[in-house]
Structure 1
Amino acid sequence: MKKRVYSAEFKSSAVRLSYERENIKELADELGIQVERIYKWRSSEKTFTNPKPIISKKTETDSLEVKQLRKALKEKELELEILKKAVHIFSKSDGKSTNS
């Protein structure tokens, strides 16, 4: 069995992607390497440089969109709650008219 040798570019790319992704196991599967190898590359790269968390504009945009969607959802849930209460109030009258 031959020992696989990876280029420095491949290693640094894998490490960079591992910081961007939440699931490192999936990344390792996609790259066809072991998860432990990524962690090893990460630790060896930390000794040379201290990586900063990568926050891309896409992440910031997604975060803003999530906040807006949560706010819209909260408003819709409030509207639904009001409508449910209104239906409950009107259903109490049993169809009788309020006019005498």
Structure 2
Amino acid sequence: MKQERRHFDKEFKMMAVNLCLTGKSTKDIAMELGIRPELVRRWKREHESYREGSFSGHGNANLTNEQKEIAKLKKELRDAREERDILKKAVSIFSRNDGKYSNS
């Protein structure tokens, strides 16, 4: 039988990270809280990287403004390339000399 996945709120994660900052080992903290030590280490790493932006929830990436802008520009570039490729194919189809697609 499949075990249900546990979800932890931001306050719980922050409490675990704060306990790490007191000098206790992640293994001890994990045992006290009933979770795996890997979770505590990951939460600590995320908090060190993003500070206030950490633990946004629901798998949303914590991106800086620059990273958001880069992601937006990459998406626009991908869309423009796709549109260009479609137009190239359309031009090649309509420029054939078999008379199928022209009035001549």
In proportion to residue count, which structure has more helix?
1
TM-score of the superposition, structure 1-length normalised? 0.46
TM-score (norm 2): 0.44
Instruction: Answer with 1 or 2: which has the greater Rg.
Output: 1
Q: Bigger relative contact order, structure 1 or 2, given CA contacts below 8 A and separation 6+?
A: 1
